[in-house]
Amino acid sequence: MEDSRGLEVTCGSVAELAAIEDFGMRTLSLARGAGRVLGAAEEFPSTPLLQSYAAAAWLFAQTAEGDLAAARFLARAAAAAPAANPREERWRAAMDAWARHAFLEAASILEALTESWPGDLPAAKVCEFLYYVLGQQHEGARFRRHMERLAPRHGSDPDFLAMLAFARELTDDFEAARATAERALELRSENPWADHALAHVWLRRGEIEPALARLTAALPVWEAHSPIILAHNAWHLALVHLERLDFEAAESCLERSIWGEDSDDVTHAIDAIALLWRLEMIGRDGGERWNGIADRAEPLAAVCFSPFLSAHLAYALARAERSAALAVLLAGVDEQAQRKDPYAQRAWSRVGRAVVTAAAAFASGDVRRAATLLEPVIAEVTGGGGSDAQCDLFRLAWVRALAASGRRSDAARAFDTVVRTKASTPLDERWRTLVASGRPVGG
């Protein structure tokens, strides 16, 4: 059978094809209900692409439980392999590599897949997530090449344009990113990923008033989409409030949209930790919130998915004084750093171990150790995962640790590098005052 993008699909019924199309649509647009593919994969256990899609749905979770659940669907995909077509076999190979945490291999397979089958936008979307794991800023040029290659075919697809806009922002092409995201929103006004690309542009440029107006107006749209994009875009809105030193509004975003009683996804925890960490660096104590976050962070400590995730978890566990869980996490980081595969050598050995250990030290008040650990790796911090805005957290932590250690001139130069593309905001002035005073963190 053939799907709506003209791609051949191995399936025997309209219901199977509809389930495949549904997952692709929901994944691309970040709509609620992408998990419906799990039921379809159970109903049609011999449909190759459904099994790979179900594995992807679990792998997005970035948890040990997710990996275990994905393995069952990958086993079914392997059993169905004799009936699969070449594109579906590439999907299975990519998901298998992802499940093994061979992220570089998985991304390369998906890039080759879209080279041969450029109509497969769900493959491009999954690859975009793998760039996040590998470091979206680090992989920015690669991400952009991938998207620009697909642009002639998908230039009127709003979900594709949102991805292209983000890739252009990550390579500092702010005006092209802005225009591309605006075009995506013209084609479909409810487009949280296009809003996300614009949020990056506005924050990198210090354009706070348009960001505040547009993102506030878009909040109801995000609330109708996946809870993950609601939380993450609300995190960006909270950063806009911080630029204006509106702490109450930023904390309201945290409580209303980022971290609630039913927030159990890893990305919710990361956004909550990142926001509280930023607040604490400018003098706002996270208080009892850390205990609630640490309760959900502790079960995640045993498996290291990326330095970016582990550094956030280390900070939360150290702030909540969960020493046993933190020791487990740090031991896991050491184990990852000793592996010899290309991803481990790049992400964990060269950068990750230092960044995660520095996060724990910073949270515990040992700013001198944090500064010493971060200094030799800060230029490569993007290789541990996350976007430009997300990696700014570690750059700012280094600035704060330098200043609090008495190295105020070094801190001032480092801060100027962080804000090099921005118009100055009230938050930037607060940072410059903190750096000049050398005030202790938490003081």
Contact in structure between 316 and 269 (CB atoms under 8 Å): yes
CB atoms closer than 10 angstroms to residue 172 = 14
The stretch 245-254 carries a mean pLDDT of: 97
The proportion of the chain whose per-residue pLDDT surpasses 70, expressed as a percent, equals 99
pLDDT of residue 260: 78
Does residue 338 contact residue 319 with C-beta atoms inside 8 Å?
no
- 290-to-20, 34, 243, 314, 352 alpha-carbon distances in Å: 40, 30, 23, 12, 23
Closest CA to 222 of 253, 201, 249: 253
Q: Where are the domains of the chain?
A: 1-134
Token pair of 68 as six digits: 């275990």
Contact yes or no for 208/191 (Cβ under 8 A): no
Average pLDDT over residues 73-89: 98
What does each C-alpha distance from 3 to 21, 297, 414 come to in angstroms? 7, 40, 51
C-beta separation of 375 from 356 below 8 A = no
How many CB atoms sit inside 10 A of residue 151's CB? 14
CA-to-CA distance for 32 and 42, rounded, in angstroms?
A: 20
CA distance 100 to 108: 14
- Neighbouring residues of 346: CB distance < 8 A, sequence distance ≥ 6: 383
Strands of 271-359 (E only): list them: none
Answer yes or no: are the C-beta atoms of 167 and 140 closer than 8 Å. yes
In tens, the pLDDT along 144-157 reads 999 999 999 999 99
Q: What is the model's pLDDT at position 315? A: 98
Dihedrals φ, ψ of 46, to 5°? -100, 5
Q: Is the pLDDT of residue 406 over 70?
A: yes
Chain segment 365-393, per-residue pLDDT in tens: 999 999 999 999 999 999 999 999 999 99
Q: Which long-range contacts (CB under 8 A, 24 or more apart) does 268-271 make?
A: 268/227, 268/228, 268/231, 269/293, 269/296, 269/297, 269/300, 269/312, 269/313, 269/316, 270/308, 270/309, 270/312, 271/231, 271/232, 271/234, 271/235
Q: Which amino acid is at 91?
A: W
Question: How does residue 129 score in pLDDT terms, banded at 50, 70 and 90?
Answer: very high
pLDDT value at position 287? Answer: 87
CB–CB of 400/441 below 8 Å? yes
pLDDT digits (tens, 9 = 90+) for 94-113: 999 999 999 999 999 999 99
pTM above 0.85, yes or no: yes
Give the model confidence (pLDDT) of 40-62 as tens digits.
999 999 999 999 999 999 999 99
Q: Are 290 and 86 in contact (CB under 8 A)?
A: no
Average pLDDT of the chain, as a whole number: 96
> What's the pLDDT tens digit per position in 260-311?
766 668 999 999 999 999 999 999 998 889 999 999 999 999 899 999 999 9
- Band of pLDDT at residue 439, cut at 50, 70 and 90: confident
Residue of 424, 421, 430, 426 whose CA lies nearest to 399: 430
For residue 281, give the nearest of 424, 172, 418, 381 by alpha carbon. 418
Distance of alpha carbon 95 from the chain centroid: 18
Cβ atoms within 10 A of the Cβ of 436, count?
Answer: 13
Residue 438: pLDDT band with limits 50, 70, 90: confident
The pLDDT value given to residue 443: 54
User: Of 405, 341, 338, whose CA–CA distance to 375 is shortest?
Assistant: 405
